[in-house]
């Protein structure tokens, strides 16, 4: 199973991911410079001979990663150098030889200590952002829409990134942002496991309570418990359905 988990069949790659990857390669190779305006959506659709919705999705993904910025009129420009700073790490991770276990081990190393620091350093604003993320996860779970999984997962990721932000350590925040895409893939595989998203929601509430209570020990322990459980669910998910690499 661990062998199988390291290979992702080509046909299961989504078109928008391939487009995003090509644009990202152009940025990282400096063929597209900070401030350069990307070709318009219609032009990209023609160049990639793909559907317009795939181009749109790719642009949305790069925008959410802070690699491109909206110019307002539907066009996008490559983000400034500060935002591109963490792209080498993301590139490394996207070309990854990393196994799912490597990723969860790294998450434990980073996020358990991040939770402890967040308990000491957070502001009211961080708690409000964590609450909003928890509410959105619950709303995603309760909804019947096609996008319920995406809503839930984006909110889940936002919760974890907010904790990194609450440490006040910018490097930690950038590292978590760079890890986000690879974590997203793992989370997609467990959203469909009965009971798993509900369990994560409860654990997020427990982590939030420990941070709000300014209890670093408990925040660290709750985060560890959460990550250990999620990793074991990802493994279970892979055993049931080998199509998603963690």
Beta carbon of residue 204, minimum distance to Zn ion (angstroms, whole number) = 6
In whole angstroms, what is the distance from residue 45 CA to residue 43 CA?
A: 5
Which residues contact Zn ion by CB under 5 A? Answer: 156, 200
Is residue 78 classed as helix, strand or coil in its secondary structure?
strand
Element holding 211 (H helix, E strand): helix 196-212
User: The tokens of 244 are what?
Assistant: 């998603």
Q: Shortest approach of Zn ion to residue 223 CB, angstroms? A: 9
- Shorter beta-carbon distance to Zn ion: residue 171 or 228: 228
The CB-of-234 to Zn ion minimum distance in angstroms stands at: 12
The number of beta carbons lying within 10 Å of the beta carbon of residue 21 is 17
Nearer to Zn ion, 154 or 156 (CB): 156
**DSSP bridge partners of 3:** none
Q: Name the residue nearer to Zn ion (CB basis): 91 or 199.
A: 199
Cα 236 to chain centroid distance, Å, stands at 20
Minimum Å gap between C-beta 200 and Zn ion is 5
Query: Nearer Cβ to Zn ion, position 189 or 200?
Result: 200
Nearer to Zn ion, 5 or 187 (CB): 187
- Give me the least distance between CB of 152 and Zn ion, in Å please: 10
Burial of 39 (0-12, 13-18, 19+ CB in 10 A): middle
């Amino acid at each position: 199973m661990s062998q199988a988990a390291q290979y992702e069949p080509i046909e299961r790659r989504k078109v928008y991911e391939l487009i995003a990857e090509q644009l990202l390669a152009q940025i990282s190779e400096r063929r597209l410079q900070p401030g350069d305006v990307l070709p318009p959506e219609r032009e990209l659709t023609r160049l990639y001979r793909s559907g317009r919705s795939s181009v749109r999705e790719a642009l949305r993904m790069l925008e959410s990663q802070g690699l491109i910025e909206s110019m307002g009129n539907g066009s996008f420009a490559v983000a400034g150098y500060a935002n591109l700073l963490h792209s080498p790490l993301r590139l490394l991770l996207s070309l990854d030889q990393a196994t799912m276990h490597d990723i969860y081990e790294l998450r434990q190393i980073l996020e358990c200590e991040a939770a402890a620091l967040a308990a000491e350093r957070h502001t009211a604003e961080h708690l409000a952002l964590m609450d909003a993320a928890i509410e959105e996860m619950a709303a995603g779970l309760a909804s019947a829409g096609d996008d319920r999984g995406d809503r839930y997962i984006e909110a889940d990721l936002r919760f974890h990134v907010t904790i990194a932000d609450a440490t006040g350590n910018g490097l930690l925040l950038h590292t978590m942002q760079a890890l986000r895409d690879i974590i997203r893939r793992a989370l997609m595989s467990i959203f469909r496991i009965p009971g798993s998203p509900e369990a994560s929601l409860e654990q997020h509430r427990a982590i939030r309570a420990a941070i709000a209570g300014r209890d670093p020990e408990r925040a660290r322990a709750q985060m560890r418990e959460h990550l250990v459980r999620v990793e074991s669910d990802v493994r279970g998910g892979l055993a049931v359905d080998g199509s998603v690499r963690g």
